[in-house]
Amino acid sequence: MSKIKSSKEIVDNMGIGWNLGNSLDSYSPWITSNNPLDYEVSWGNPVTTKAMIDKVIEGGFKTIRIPVTWDTHIGESPDYKINDTWMKRVKEVINYAISNNVYVILNLHHEDNWLIPSLEKEAEVTVKLKKIWIQIANEFIDYDDHLLFESFNEVREKGSPFEWTGGTKEGRAIANRYNAAVVKTIRSTGGNNSERSILIPTYAASGAYEAINDLIIPNSKNIIVSIHDYFPYNFAMNCSDEYATDKWGSDNDKKELIERLNLFYYTFVLKGIPVIIGEFGSTNKNNLSYRVEHSKCFVSYTKKRHIGCIWWDNNANSIGAENFGLFDRSNLNWYHPEIHNALINSYNNTDF
């Protein structure tokens, strides 16, 4: 790798990002074939093509996050060997983006069945986590700093009362140790991985105060904090109770968003630790104008604070929960050009 950009330089140059959601992270216990495309389409999305990725990048996105679920493609202990055809397909999709000279983030995504932050499971999980990451790190060791690794997605105490509220002290401590193990494993492979930027999520990638406050940054250069922030929840995600709202944009709404982002800024960015909001967005409640305003403000406020942000796009475009579709992967156009334009223009028109 020639001159390596620091994590701060990368975050300041990554522009707006886009998630290839519900594709390489899709999985099903019913699939028995060795064809990676069977998994890729199992949640209803089309096979990812270079034309797809080219169009997203042509639309102004400079970072592509590629969530990948590995567990259904690895062998038994002690080797946990990643299936060669799956690794080849992941690499092919990464190359679609890398060939456009944009940033790519590669992670471990839906690994909830085994990646459990408990004392009972910690030793077993740590071994498996390290075995998987050493294979990935070696596979991509020659890629330059346009490729970033993210240790995992939303490690949490699944099914507990604390799953999405910042976790328990024990859960947060174990998530910290998992992050440290991943960073040490990646760095141990040497070469370009010795200084490659690595994203480490908070507990459950949560923006809750406890998760933010208890995150321990591994002793290594080029570490980026990863947070998912569908904020405010009642506007961005909630469709199921009396607190849900389809409106956003009052002075108080904007004040609350600023206060939220300031927590990340003062805890990390101001201390020299970059932050990327690896997932954000607002589900479609047939409320386009409010979603546009939220997108404008979110991007503008994050850029001013040197925080990167990446829209979660699962290609779902109905009305209701979990409909974050922005780019139509079948027809290669934008479901909501107004939101697309708001994201790109707000970033380009906002100074650091």
Phi/psi at 12 (5° precision): -75, -15
Q: What is the DSSP pairing of strand 198-201 with strand 223-228?
A: parallel
Q: What is the DSSP letter of 328?
A: E
Q: What is the DSSP letter of 166?
A: T
> Distance between CA 310 and CA 328 in Å, rounded?
17
> Distance between CA 213 and CA 259 in Å, rounded?
15
Dihedral sign from CA coordinates of 201, 207, 210, 213: positive
User: Six-digit token pair at 176?
Assistant: 């910290």
Active-site residue list = 154, 279
Tell me how far apart the 2 most distant CA atoms of the chain are, in Å.
56
* Residues paired with residue 308 on neighbouring β-strands, in sequence order: 276
* CA distance from start to end of the chain: 28
Three-state SS at 349: coil
Neighbours of 310 (CB within 10 A): 24
C-alpha angle 232/333/50, rounded to 5°?
Answer: 105
Q: What is the DSSP pairing of strand 147-150 with strand 198-201?
A: parallel
